[in-house]
Copies of this chain bind each other. A is one copy, B any other.
């Protein structure tokens, strides 16, 4: 099949072997797949990503562990997909028929191993014409929900999880620092929870507009005023929960300095670098930092439902569409965050 392949720290269009569904797996035709910031990280900083995975104990300890990719070999990235069932491997129930459109948590179980679809040498992700997925994980795209919107399930589920892990309630106030796809997903989840004071900060006017569209009550250009001031103005007495959705060194320390006493900082931005901070500021204010990653299967399923029922309007997030030949260029474009939120890859367009 044709795929946009990560090879030698670049993206090249090439033919790779067709994926074959194993036991319990289905073969799907990839209809749309969003490009994630983590894919940009993987392309540029695969070494750091793998180093952090090793330092986090990947492959050690009891229980199954996600198989770590080898970036010196071909990888087909892409884990935010909507696809159509084409064929079935052995030991499948066929509870969903061929032709059904599906989304899935991007994991696949093979024997005693777990593979991350889109970060695997074995299982291609969504930047190719076809994938194999684990049948038990498939969720049918509800009738009437467009393929493009369904493909936004994965990134929006990240926001639902971050908000759930924050432990915050409707009566708290939220500051979202950074309005890329992660920050926008957090804003949508905050509004779904019913939070009545959401302030969002980003240097990009386009991203601030998207934040407003998803329901932020105030948006701030940090070049003009500290975002925390807008939060204190909007909700002077509500407990503050701050979401770090940037992932660049120095942001956590700045948020610790800005935080009111007792605040919780949820770290959703993926920072691959070594970062520095002053513990004493955290101590003096008794702050807490909650690091978050991914989502639970129920959060993923509920996000699909919310998009299908129109509770989240994801259309404005889609700022570009490319075929497989356009993936390399789209990666370049996404390095200029002023112009894009989510670019969808359509392998068969």
Partner-B contacts on A (CB < 8 A): 48-49, 52-53, 55-58, 61-62, 165, 236, 247, 252, 257, 260-261, 267, 269-293
Cβ-defined contact, A165 with B53, below 8 A: no
Residues of B within 8 A of A267 (CB): 279, 282-283
Q: Sample 13 A-B pairs with CB under 8 A, ordered by A number.
A: A48-B280, A56-B284, A58-B284, A252-B279, A267-B282, A273-B278, A274-B277, A275-B277, A285-B291, A286-B290, A286-B292, A287-B291, A289-B289
In whole angstroms, what is the CA distance A277 to B274 when docked? 6
Inter-chain pairs besides A274-B278, A275-B276, 17 sampled, C-beta below 8 Å: A49-B280, A52-B284, A56-B257, A56-B285, A61-B260, A165-B286, A247-B279, A271-B279, A271-B283, A274-B276, A275-B278, A276-B277, A282-B289, A283-B292, A286-B292, A286-B293, A288-B288
Residues of B within 8 A of A290 (CB): 286, 288
In whole angstroms, what is the CA distance A57 to B272 when docked? 29
Per assembly, the copies of the chain total 2
B48, B57, B284, B289: the one contacting A288 at CB < 8 Å is: B289
In whole angstroms, what is the CA distance A269 to B283 when docked? 9
- A116 → chain B closest CB, angstroms: 12
Sort A-B residue pairs by CB-CB distance and give the 10 closest, nearest first. Answer: A282-B291, A52-B280, A56-B284, A271-B279, A289-B289, A288-B290, A276-B276, A283-B291, A283-B293, A56-B281
Residues of B within 8 A of A287 (CB): 291
Q: In the complex, which residue of chain B has the Cβ closest to the Cβ of A261? A: B57
In whole angstroms, what is the CA distance A119 to B260 when docked? 23
Residues of B within 8 A of A247 (CB): 279
Residues of B within 8 A of A49 (CB): 280
Residues of B within 8 A of A289 (CB): 282, 288-289
Q: In the complex, which residue of chain B has the Cβ closest to the Cβ of A292? A: B286
Residues of B within 8 A of A165 (CB): 286
Residues of B within 8 A of A58 (CB): 284
In whole angstroms, what is the CA distance A55 to B259 when docked? 10
Residues of B within 8 A of A283 (CB): 267, 270-271, 291-293
Cβ-defined contact, A280 with B272, below 8 A: yes
In whole angstroms, what is the CA distance A289 to B290 when docked? 6
Cβ-defined contact, A293 with B284, below 8 A: yes
In whole angstroms, what is the CA distance A31 to B240 when docked? 43
- A213 → chain B closest CB, angstroms: 27
- A53 → chain B closest CB, angstroms: 6
- A70 → chain B closest CB, angstroms: 18
In whole angstroms, what is the CA distance A282 to B276 when docked? 14
- A258 → chain B closest CB, angstroms: 9
Q: Which of A52, A165, A284 has the most CB of B within 10 A?
A: A284
Residues of B within 8 A of A288 (CB): 288-291
In whole angstroms, what is the CA distance A260 to B270 when docked? 20
Cβ-defined contact, A52 with B293, below 8 A: no
Residues of B within 8 A of A252 (CB): 279
- A163 → chain B closest CB, angstroms: 14
Residues of B within 8 A of A48 (CB): 280
B55, B260, B285: the one contacting A278 at CB < 8 Å is: B55
